[in-house]
Amino acid sequence: MAIFKQNAPHLRRNASVTRMMVDVLVALAPTLIFSFIIYPIKTLIFYLISVVIMEAAEFIYVGLKGIMPNDGQKHSFKERFNYAYKGKYNQNNILTAAITAIIYTLIMPAGAPIYAVIIGALVGIVLGKLVFGGLGSNIFNPAAVGMLFAKVCFGSQYAKNVPTWYYTVADVTTAPTALSNSAGTLNGLIENFNNANFLDMFIGRMYGTLGEVYTVTILVGAIYLLIRRSADFRVMLPYLGAFALFSLVAGLGFYAVDGTTNPGAFTLFSLLSGGVMFGGVFMLTDPVTSPINSPSRIIYALVAAVSTVFIRLFTAYPEGVGFSILIANMVAVVLDHYEWSSPRYTWKKFLTMGLLIIIPAAIIFLVIKFGGVYHA
């Protein structure tokens, strides 16, 4: 027995990064399984491709980071290997790559060609994560980076209307998500809304990416994450709440123009369609790319909600979750700047939050009502 000196505190809490990542895996599992049942082959292929690429990239990255400095002596491969990997490569490296791979798989559309999946996965893990320094150092969500890269580069080659037995609402639209509309106008959106069946949307019987459409399983995952607190509710709930509020305001705008749109139902439609639930539950809440303190996290979630709604309603892109996550990730870096970052809630922060809700809401309503973007 030896007696050691160490610095206080001498105790540690019973929690670990590994457990946090396992929690996220467990929360993702229902959605992954659902997706596998509906699209067995696509899900399996996409997942295998991305998990192999991401695990390999992570492994090679750790090896490259640990290259032995040249000390003039010869070292066997085993020595070099041990030098690079011992104590530096552990279960967390494996888990983090696996989570990224699952999220990436679930946000890829079933119609994406294999090469797009491969390139997206590579770009996502390398440019989205490893160039920043691996686990804990990335500023962007790697899965979102990969997905968007593939979409922007190869989006025109995505197959439309991938058939499976699950779809019965084939006449909703011909594009990959319930949000897309042929003309890219709000009239197209409302048309989709009028044709939508909420039960179908809730259980994912609609067009969308592999995983983001199964709201029911995403909700299960969300509840699990909140109970385990492996995702911060200060991100998830403000994001979904603010998004719902903005959709309600948009719905009111539509109602003010045409007198028939039900704002409440439109809010539900917006929440159920596209990747809002998935992005808000699994991607935006990634602690690595969130700000560090609670008020900043709420502001960050609001920024993401504002950008999601704006991209959805007013740009040519039907779906804004991926982009808005990246925008919010950038804002997170700014929010964490040492000169103003503080965990205290001050009136300035409350003002920011208030303005982030009121101004966009006003813009949304006014543009829809008077901007001439929507016609009865």
| Interaction of residue 82 with another protein, rule CB under 8 A | no
Whole-angstrom Cα distance, residue 294 to residue 346? 12
- Interatomic CA distance for residues 215 and 223, integer angstroms: 12
Among 111, 336, 369, 371, binds another protein (CB under 8 A): 336
Tell me if 299 contacts another protein by CB under 8 A.
Answer: no
Which CB sits closer to another protein, 225 or 250? 225
Note whether 347 binds another protein by CB under 8 A. Answer: no
**Part of the chain binding another protein (CB under 8 A), chosen from 9-17, 30-38, 196-204, 368-376:** 9-17
CA distance 283 to 17: 17
Structure tokens at 35: 């997706």
Q: Does 9 bind another protein (CB under 8 A)?
A: yes
Contacts of 194 (CB under 8 A, 6+ apart): none
Terminal Cα distance for the chain, rounded: 83
Helical packing angle, 77-85 and 40-65, nearest 10°: 100
Closest CA to 323 of 156, 116, 147, 96: 147
Beta partners for residue 109, in sequence order: 209
Interface with another protein (CB under 8 A), residue from 40, 113, 136, 184? 136
Tell me how far apart the alpha carbons of residues 203 and 196 are, in angstroms, rounded to a whole number: 13
- Of 157, 194, 195, 342, the one binding another protein by CB under 8 A: 342
One of 45, 118, 127, 228 touching another protein (CB under 8 A): 228
| Residue found by looking up tokens 């467990």 in the block | 26
CB of residue 240 to another protein, shortest distance in Å: 17
Structure tokens at 71: 């000390």
Among residues 58, 200, 212, 232, the one that binds another protein under rule CB under 8 A: 232
Which string of x and - marks every residue 178-217 that binds another protein (by CB under 8 A)? ----------------------------------------
Q: Please name every residue paired with 209 in a beta bridge, in sequence order, or none if there are none.
A: 109
CB of 332 to another protein, least distance (A): 9
Per rule CB under 8 A, is residue 134 in the interface with another protein? Answer: yes
Asked if 17 touches another protein (CB under 8 A), the answer is yes
Among 50, 141, 290, 352, binds another protein (CB under 8 A): 290
Q: Which is nearer to another protein, 14 or 73 (CB)?
A: 14
Residue 289 CA: distances (Å) to CA of 47, 221, 283, 325: 23, 20, 9, 9
| Total interface residues for another protein by CB under 8 A | 46
Considering only residues 171, 316, 339, 347, which one is a binding residue for another protein as defined by CB under 8 A? 339
Among the listed ranges 142-150, 175-183, 282-290, 308-316, the one in contact with another protein (CB under 8 A) is 282-290
Determine contact, residues 108/46, Cβ cutoff 8 Å.
Answer: yes
Is residue 135 near another protein by the rule CB under 8 A?
A: yes
- Between CA 316 and CA 28 the distance in angstroms is 30
Using CB under 8 A as the binding rule, whether residue 16 contacts another protein is answered as yes
Chain residues 19-38 in contact with another protein, contact rule CB under 8 A = 19-20, 23
CA gap 234, 11 in Å, rounded: 28
* DSSP, res 284: T
**Can residue 8 be called a binding residue for another protein (CB under 8 A)?**
yes
- DSSP, collapsed to helix, strand or coil, labels residue 209 as strand
Identity of the residue numbered 355: L
- 117-139 in b/e form (b: 16+ CB < 10 A) is bbbbbbbbbbbbbbeeebbeebe
69, 163, 343, 372: residue in contact with another protein (rule CB under 8 A): 343
Q: Choose the stretch contacting another protein; rule: CB under 8 A; options: 48-56, 112-120, 227-235, 299-307.
A: 227-235
What distance lies between CA 23 and its chain's CA centroid? 16
> What CA dihedral angle connects 155, 128, 224 and 215, to 10 degrees?
-10
Stretch binding another protein (CB under 8 A), from 229-237, 244-252, 255-263, 347-355: 229-237
For another protein, the closer CB: 23 or 319: 23
Is 1 near another protein (CB under 8 A)? yes
Residues that bind another protein (CB under 8 A): 1-17, 19-20, 23, 87, 90, 92, 134-137, 228-232, 287-288, 290, 292-294, 297, 336, 338-339, 341-344
